[in-house]
Structure 1
Amino acid sequence: MKAYSVTLKENGKYIYGTTFENIVDLYLFDMELRNILFSLIEHIEVHLRAVITNYFSLKYGNFGYKELNNYNKKNFQRVQ
């Protein structure tokens, strides 16, 4: 919780009127924002994994991931 109170200080002292509830509110806001962002990032990650898996499967077959030579850099084209 200490990190959340840093912005509520000037010259090492709390700004007049700062309450513990202000610090808790900052913490709760940060927690909610983090949950929203991670939820969105998770959707993006799952989508990208699906796109990469689909591309790889179509190019090398269903078990192409087992063949080490399929991971050689020269086998990959830049997607634009």
Structure 2
Amino acid sequence: MPELTQSKEDMTAKILGVVVALGAAWVAQQVINQVWTKAFGHRPPKAEDEGDSRFGEVAAAATVTGAVVALARVLATRGAARFIK
């Protein structure tokens, strides 16, 4: 019976970790959109956007977005793991 309880706790931890990581990534993206809009007057460019966005701006937006979202996911996952233990 204890083995079943441990397995259930492990599954709960994994699900919670995924949910928290996705939420953190979404929040990070919203913050990036707000900050970028205040700084540059428009939302960050995306790969699928047609228009006159320069490559440097697209590369900067991709770099900032990737780094911030990855960091938010790592911190959220670690926080959830600590919470469960």
Query: Please, what TM-score do these two structures have when normalized by structure 1?
Result: 0.44
User: Whose helix proportion is higher, 1 or 2?
Assistant: 2
User: Whose strand proportion is higher, 1 or 2?
Assistant: 1
